[in-house]
Chain A
Amino acid sequence: SYELTQPPSVSVSPGQTARITCSGDALPKKYAYWYQQKSGQAPVLVIYEDSKRPSGIPERFSGSSSGTMATLTISGAQVEDEADYYCYSTDSSGNHRGVFGGGTKLTVL
């Protein structure tokens, strides 16, 4: 079955740039989406279609994708950005089955 691979954890100091990667064989053909989940809460969409930011999401959140890797970048990370981040995409089988990456715990301290 299709898999998306993320690093388990990323740590930065406040004001630094955090980069979270997501690798998957179908990413050259399929969009990546990024969700932020804070403890005890439902996920929130922060990036869709590789690089688009929903309204209400701070400009410091950006996304990119090249080849088999998508990247979520948080420029000038804030303490309130500390959360789990999940990439999401669909497989290329034509069945439109979704898959989440394993998640990355972002620590900002």
Chain B
Amino acid sequence: QVQLVQSGAEVKKPGASVKVSCKASGYTFTSYGISWVRQAPGQGLEWMGWISAYNGNTNYAQKLQGRVTMTTDTSTSTAYMELRSLRSDDTAVYYCARETTRDYFDYWGQGTLVTVSS
């Protein structure tokens, strides 16, 4: 069965970086993309960006350009999302999701809470 398992919760200081992993299993990793979505406490969903697991092409939300990098390791079927220069308003649950060729997210990771606090 398809599973996306994310790394554990993180606590970071303002200005630091965080790297969240998303290990995929149960399907051919390179046949799908991975999108990252975050949700601040009590707030809505925010699309952060997408990476093709086939060729590494990326697309990032404009507001995060320059601070976010998405990568994949096809040898371990793992996707990564790194966010730099963290601010308090980056505190959120970060989700990875498998994106199909028809642009929808059919499987989601369990979420990773990133807390940014001094």
Q: Which residues of A contact B (CB under 8 A)?
A: 1, 31, 33, 35, 37, 42-45, 48-49, 54, 84, 86, 88, 90, 95-103
Q: Which residues of B contact A (CB under 8 A)?
A: 35, 37, 44-47, 50, 59, 61-63, 95, 102-106, 108-111
A1, B45: Cβ atoms under 8 Å? no
- Picked from A37, A43, A97, the residue with its CB within 8 Å of the CB of B62 is A97
Collect the chain A residues with CB atoms within 8 Å of residue B47's CB.
88, 97-100
A44 to B63, CA, bound (A): 25
B104, A48: Cβ atoms under 8 Å? yes
A26 to B40, CA, bound (A): 26
B102, A86: Cβ atoms under 8 Å? no
B59, A100: Cβ atoms under 8 Å? no
Report A34 CB to chain B, min CB distance, Å: 10
Q: Given A96-B59, A103-B45, verify A31-B106 contact (CB < 8 Å).
A: no
